[in-house]
Chain A
Amino acid sequence: GNSVTQMEGPVTLSEEAFLTINCTYTATGYPSLFWYVQYPGEGLQLLLKATKADDKGSNKGFEATYRKETTSFHLEKGSVQVSDSAVYFCALSGGYYSSASKIIFGSGTRLSIRP
């Protein structure tokens, strides 16, 4: 079945550092891919999404490109801020043999940014 694997955390960086959080997926067909973020004490929020191969999702300085050849959707940001400290979840939905009505999440990566 469909699955998502993302790098384990915690990831600790200094402010203004470059961020990459790796995510790979297993799915048949053409799923939609997402990054969700959970700030401390809050629910999950959609950060960005991509619905087809080579699409780039972007928001708040974060980017991720849907790479079908490597089945990846890595999250990147050129210069992180303390306010980016949160847990980041890679996720997918749809694809062949999979319902479009549910999202499958990765295990989450906790990001901490030092001032």
Chain B
Amino acid sequence: EPEVTQTPSHQVTQMGQEVILRCVPISNHLYFYWYRQILGQKVEFLVSFYNNEISEKSEIFDDQFSVERPDGSNFTLKIRSTKLEDSAMYFCASSEGTSGNTGELFFGEGSRLTVL
């Protein structure tokens, strides 16, 4: 069964360092998403991506964050200068259509980021 894969599963970094989280969405999906979950808190929307551009982003997704689909298969989230409060589980997801069109989102297992 097709699945969304994420790497790394866990990354530890020093404050101020750049981090890139990688995702391989399901191959025929058109919409891509990043969510995050700070320990014990809600799963929060970060950004959605369609047709090689951001379609929507939340207030969390500031200038320190960027997304890219560099080669038609990977979908990356970059944090330029990590802060302690960026420590969270980051989930990548993909879908055939938008979630509001009842399209199901398929999630990866998450990448845990720990900023020291």
Contacts and interface: CB of A to CB of B under 8 A. Distances in A.
Interface in A11-29: none
Interface size class of A (residues with CB under 8 A): 20 to 34
A43 B48 contact: no
B28 interface: no
Contact of B99 (A45, A102, A106, A108): A102
Interface in A27-66: 31-32, 36, 41-46, 49, 51
Given A43-B4, A44-B91, A108-B43, A100 B101 contact: yes
Interface string B91-116: 10100001111101111111000000
Given A43-B107, A102-B99, 20 more contacts: A31-B100, A32-B100, A43-B108, A44-B91, A46-B104, A89-B43, A94-B99, A99-B100, A100-B99, A100-B100, A101-B31, A101-B55, A101-B56, A101-B99, A101-B100, A102-B33, A102-B45, A102-B48, A102-B58, A105-B35
29 contacts: A32-B99, A32-B100, A36-B107, A42-B109, A43-B91, A43-B107, A44-B93, A44-B107, A45-B107, A46-B104, A46-B105, A46-B106, A51-B102, A93-B98, A99-B48, A100-B99, A100-B100, A100-B101, A101-B31, A101-B55, A101-B56, A101-B99, A103-B105, A104-B45, A105-B35, A105-B42, A106-B42, A107-B41, A108-B42
